[in-house]
Structure 1
Amino acid sequence: MKKYDAIIIGFGKGGKTLAAGLAERNFTVAMIERSDKMYGGTCINIGCIPTKTLIHSAKLADTSASWEQKRAYYRQSVARKEEVTSFLRQKNYRNLSDNPNITVYTGTGSFVGPDVVEVRMAEETIQLQAQQIFVNTGAETIIPPIGGVKDNPKVYTSTSIMELAELPKHLVIVGGGYIGLEFASMYASFGSQVTVLESYSELIAREDRDIAASVQEVLEKKGITFCLNARVQSVEGTVVVYQDAVTGKILQLDADAILLATGRRPNTAGLNLPEAGVEVNERGAIIVNEHLQTTNPNIRAIGDVKGGLQFTYISLDDYRILREDLFGAGERKVSDREPVSYSVFIDPPLSRIGMSETEAREKGLNIKVNKLPVSAIPRARTLGNTDGLFKVIVDADTDKIVGCTLFGPESSEVINLVAMAMKMRQEYTFLRDFIFTHPSMSEALNDLMNL
């Protein structure tokens, strides 16, 4: 049995940053990653980087090109995505493997005791022991129990579809959540006919209805078809069979490719967590305290595996909490980071922080609401993209911003300004009267905050 100061299961953002930080302090670290295609974690290999690389290429696609030209451009885009991810994957591997204090094991890790992890590799199985163990195994796609989905070569997940080298003429997406909308927007821009099947009566239910309506309108202008109340019954080869929950009618769609965008869940299968005294909640997420300790205080969880928001920057902030807990005063904790902003990279992007108007009213807050059509923003005119809607919710009793949703060009950047103002507990007038550069999308905050 090999002994280390720390074992990290999963080569994701928080884990790899922690490994480097521990090694700098002369800790011996074992990094376990089950696949040589996942060095660097989800973001680099199957998440943010490849999807945003493809989304950028899609935005530059020639909408007037012939189908053969669109296919060729798509193949080039996939090849470019592969170049980017391969480069970053290798760079991430070298950053750790070249460190004399870090040993990278490519294999599947599972607990055989509260401080022992067994690693099953291609050539051998070994056991590792450490006083500190960190679980950073991320999340996995939820495969719904739909007949005809399993082992169907035409059915993809958000991971496998990015390996699809041929542009589908008709892409059917099962699920109208954020992941589904990102892929719908991207493939429509590449030139595919896209149909989204959403089982609920509303699109992106956690957003206010005016925002959701604006998103749907913009995406429909791209040629995307939305079928709400659509309950998928089965997949027969390339045919998707679904029922309209309102009328009861059984309908069919013939597709060239089918994408399952039905959510993700913490990846804990095979970890044998009970052997380590680590408990999970009803959703399968590892239970942690404010300092990311599990029910075994010597084992901590990082990133998506503990549930909650599934973003790379949350995993990185988990590292900061661990760093302060292990080597600082331990004052940083999970609840400190609320609220957290997020962006959905449809075209234009949808970004939000804090409460929606609906949530604020349900909490009984006395609020002021303002909306700004993107068409009223000069910079949007110069960009030639005037679709979308900006919206802010302010507590009328304190003048503090409690929520903001920005659906428009460059919103993924502008939302960070709102986030900083909220973190600094500034009143909305701080942004109303701030001097921004002109013309810029950020200066729209002057008008948006003019309540």
Structure 2
Amino acid sequence: MRISLAFAMAPKHFKTIILGSGQAAPPLAQAFAAAHDSSSVLIIERAAIGGTCVNYGCTPTKTMIASGRVAYLSNRGNDYGVATAATAAGGVRGLIDMEKIRERKRNIVTSFRTGNEGRLMKAGIEVKYGTGRFVGPKTIAVTPVNGGDEEQFTAENVFINAGCRPVEPNIPTVGNIDQSRILDSTSIMELAQVPLKLIVVGGGYIGLEFGNLFKRLGADVTVVGRGAQVLGREDEDFATEVKKIMESDGMVLELGMRAVRLEAIDEDGMKVRLVYQSTQGGDEKAVSGSHILWAAGRVPNTDLLDAEAGGIEIDAKGFIKHDEALQTTAPGVFVMGDIKGGPAFTHISYDDYRILKNNLLSPSLPKLSTKNRMVPYTVYTDPQLGHIGIHEHEAKTVYPDRKIGVAKMPMTWVARALETDEVRGMMKAVVDRETEEILGFTCLGLEGGEIMSMVQIAMMGKLKYSQLRDATFAHPTLAESLNNLWGSIEEL
């Protein structure tokens, strides 16, 4: 009897197990299924296929930001000689249908998610919904999300694509605060009404995107950030310009501040008060709001994995240690996406998939790695901020022996921006003055991410900045701004 029971409880074996279903997981699963057979691949997911990007990040936020963009233009109708209903009514807030915005967001997320699920199903890939944790080398136990007995699985190769989650508030509270008023980057997208006043804790990408969005939808917004500038990795001049733009739209930004405590209140629709203080000390200040968004960072989900049981080492910040080929400290276990640390962008996770697919399924091809790969990104405030390569403040450290130059131009010099009355922002390139190589580029402006992507293509093709300066771009386009940017290159 014991022998038969042990046999029944033996872990099921797969060639490939993928723990988590972020951006890298579905295409990697399909690649391994095609290379071997569909029954050899298992995905373990505790929430929803597609991970953060599809379900809680890129797809839903940018869908809602599109609604904010329409609200913004509606409110600016008079600037273009168009008396819209919103401007005639004296403001856009009263015309916002938050439930409709939410429904549109949900529909698009569902479409993307079911598309991913459908492709996995069509490929015959097995998906287990549950929380997975290591119980031994390349051995994973799964607790089903809907209850039931734990199951165990083993594999020849395990890939971890389990992502990160929002940091939770970790400050004292006073009084009985309605927890529905304390939001993170997921729950804020489920609001049925625009907040009267939104307090945003965090002056990074997430905090500014949501602050900008809800200001566009009619909320009063105050951002309380710990850093001395918004968007801490950006050059100071761009951070200053972003702050100026956000403030010109009516947002209040309190920077260099640390959160001290939360207090429950009930005053004219205000339900929570944030008490904060300068990071340098001094008197406490306070701001009251109907809701508070905690956007002070994200933490990796490694605490759910029991990674040590699988021989996988974790660094001091909780991310999975790995080499340039995405191999962890455990043989046959690889890591992809945000949980490995480094740039937390969807396209980086997808590039992780490309690296692993190439290296493990195409042994005759040259090996790929994460070393020196380009890391483009766009911050979806309005206007957008797109960046590729190095920043000006990094240039001398990264390239101490090069003759660095900086080209800079305001968006007021861009014909297309003037014609569309979208002239806020600027662009800047960091170059090697001797070789004319483009080392980095930032654009804060109308479709800044798209302009950045053009420069990225030029960098990939190793074009000199003079070739962009002398190129014939269609007029009037945003692209032709790259003719004019190089008119003055200053020595750094």
Question: TM-score, normalised to structure 1's length?
Answer: 0.95
CA distance in 2, matches of 1:437, 1:331: 38
Q: Does 1:395 align with 2:405?
A: no
| Alignment partner of 2:98 out of 52, 74, 89 | 74
- 2:384 matched residue in structure 1: 349
* Correspondence list, 1:32-431, <5 A: 32-35=44-47, 38-61=48-71, 62-63=74-75, 64=87, 65=89, 70=94, 72-100=96-124, 102-121=125-144, 122-148=147-173, 152-237=179-264, 238-246=272-280, 248-328=282-362, 329=364, 331-336=366-371, 338-363=373-398, 364=400, 365-431=402-468
CA distance in 1, matches of 2:70, 2:114: 28
1:72: how far off?
3.9
SS at match of 2:179: coil
Distance change (3 Å), C-alpha of 1:443 and 1:67:
closer
1:68: how far off?
8.6
1:26: how far off?
2.9
CA distance in 1, matches of 2:318, 2:239: 29
CA offsets 1:218-274 (integer angstroms, 9 cap, x no match): 111111111112221111121111113456121211111101111112221121111
CA offsets 1:54-89 (integer angstroms, 9 cap, x no match): 000100013335679546422211111011111221
CA contact (8 A) 2:135 2:141 kept: yes
SS at match of 2:50: coil
CA offsets 1:334-383 (integer angstroms, 9 cap, x no match): 33552311100000100111111111134434211111110110111222
CA distance in 2, matches of 1:71, 1:195: 22
Distance change (3 Å), C-alpha of 1:420 and 1:67:
closer
SS at match of 1:235: strand
CA distance in 2, matches of 1:221, 1:18: 45
CA contact (8 A) 2:165 2:299 kept: yes
CA contact (8 A) 2:18 2:29 kept: yes
Aligned residues: 448
Q: Give aligned-pair identity as a percent.
A: 37
Counterpart of 1:224, as a letter, is M
Mind listing any 5+ residue stretches in structure 2 that lack a counterpart?
A: 1-10, 76-86, 265-271
Counterpart of 1:419, as a letter, is Q
SS at match of 1:268: helix
SS at match of 1:326: helix
Q: Please, which moves more after superposition, 202-211 or 367-376?
A: 202-211
SS at match of 2:358: helix
Mind listing any 5+ residue stretches in structure 1 that lack a counterpart?
A: none
Q: Does 1:5 align with 2:15?
A: yes
CA distance in 2, matches of 1:151, 1:276: 40
CA distance in 2, matches of 1:154, 1:60: 26
SS at match of 1:153: helix
CA RMSD of aligned residues (A): 1.8
CA contact (8 A) 1:40 1:92 kept: yes
1:23: how far off?
1.2
CA distance in 1, matches of 2:315, 2:281: 37
CA distance in 2, matches of 1:443, 1:45: 36
Counterpart of 2:49, as a letter, is Y
Q: Please, which moves more after superposition, 5-14 or 389-398?
A: 389-398
CA distance in 2, matches of 1:429, 1:236: 57
CA contact (8 A) 1:71 1:166 kept: no
1:151: how far off?
7.7
SS at match of 2:155: strand
CA distance in 2, matches of 1:370, 1:440: 20
Q: Please, which moves more after superposition, 282-291 or 171-180?
A: 282-291
Distance change (3 Å), C-alpha of 1:138 and 1:330:
farther
CA distance in 2, matches of 1:421, 1:337: 16
CA distance in 1, matches of 2:249, 2:92: 20
SS at match of 1:375: helix
CA distance in 2, matches of 1:136, 1:247: 41
1:144: how far off?
4.1
CA offsets 1:202-232 (integer angstroms, 9 cap, x no match): 2223211211111111111111111112221
* Structure ID, larger Rg: 2
CA contact (8 A) 2:16 2:157 kept: yes
Distance change (3 Å), C-alpha of 1:189 and 1:93:
same
Question: TM-score, normalised to structure 2's length?
Answer: 0.87
- 1:29 matched residue in structure 2: 41
